[in-house]
């Protein structure tokens, strides 16, 4: 992982960890827990393959004679 990718990943983790901390009522002593939970979420997002555009194909109606 390059430094730029690691930095972007860490920034995303920090933002999510902060949100988790706030949602839990800002408890003391839970920073590592929030960071690890956020890291799991971010890594799962990064592991997903990029969404490929869906191509619409017109259905052909079969004509039976």
- Rounded distance, CA 9 to CA 1, Å? 10
Give, for 19, the enclosing helix (H) or strand (E). Answer: helix 3-23
4: confidence class by pLDDT, cuts 50, 70, 90:
confident
C-alpha distance from residue 40 to each of 12, 26, 61, 62 (Å): 11, 20, 47, 49
pLDDT tens-place string over residues 6-63:
799 999 999 999 999 999 999 999 999 999 999 999 999 989 876 666 666 665 555 5
Q: What's residue 2's pLDDT?
A: 73
Q: What's residue 3's pLDDT?
A: 76
């Amino acid at each position: 992982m390059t430094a730029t990718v690691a930095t972007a990943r860490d920034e995303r983790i920090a933002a999510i960890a902060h949100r988790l901390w706030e949602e839990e009522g800002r408890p003391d002593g839970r920073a590592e827990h929030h960071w690890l939970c956020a890291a799991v979420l971010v890594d799962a997002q990064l592991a997903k393959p990029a969404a490929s555009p869906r191509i619409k194909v017109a259905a052909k109606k079969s004509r039976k004679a």
